[in-house]
């Protein structure tokens, strides 16, 4: 005889305190990532980037239903905008640093330019010589 399963309860909608906790975690990880970027600490940058991605995933999951219902408190909305701005600034700083490093490496270690048009075998047949 099959056993009866308990009734499934729908997941509860996050309240303001849940949203606050999620957003605070994102803000903490953004601040820690910013500090790691300032210190040029690659190990911590990687750790904080991973932690931030995880926190963002949880935050998106928590805020999604509330945002679709139009019930995100104004104060949390403003903090979300601020966190988004901070993430964009960090992303831009990382991009500028990466481009500067690529340019420096190009100057110090120039790549050999590939020959685009070359006859296979290295010798040009007499018909194509001028």
How do residues 72-100 score in pLDDT, each as one tens digit?
Answer: 899 999 999 999 999 999 889 888 888 88
pTM score, whole prediction: 0.66
- For 15, 24, 25, 59, 62, the CA distances from 20, given in Å and listed in that order, are 9, 6, 9, 10, 10
Query: What is the pLDDT at residue 53?
Result: 93
In angstroms and rounded to an integer, the radius of gyration of the C-alpha atoms of the chain is 27
Contact partners, residue 13, CB within 8 Å, separation at least 6: 65, 66
Distance, in Å, from the CA atom of 19 to the CA atom of 66, rounded to the nearest integer, reads 9
């Amino acid at each position: 005889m099959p056993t009866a399963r308990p009734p499934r309860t729908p997941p509860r909608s996050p309240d303001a305190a849940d949203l606050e906790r999620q957003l605070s975690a994102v803000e903490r990880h953004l601040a820690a990532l910013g500090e790691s970027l300032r210190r040029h600490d690659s190990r911590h940058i990687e750790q904080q980037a991973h932690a931030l991605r995880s926190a963002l995933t949880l935050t998106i999951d928590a805020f999604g239903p509330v945002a679709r219902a139009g019930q995100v408190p104004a104060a949390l909305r403003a903090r979300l905008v601020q966190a988004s701005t901070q993430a964009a600034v960090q992303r831009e700083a990382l991009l500028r640093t990466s481009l500067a490093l690529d340019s420096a490496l190009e100057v110090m270690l120039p790549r050999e330019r590939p020959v685009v048009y070359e006859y296979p075998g290295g010798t040009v047949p007499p018909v194509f010589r001028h």
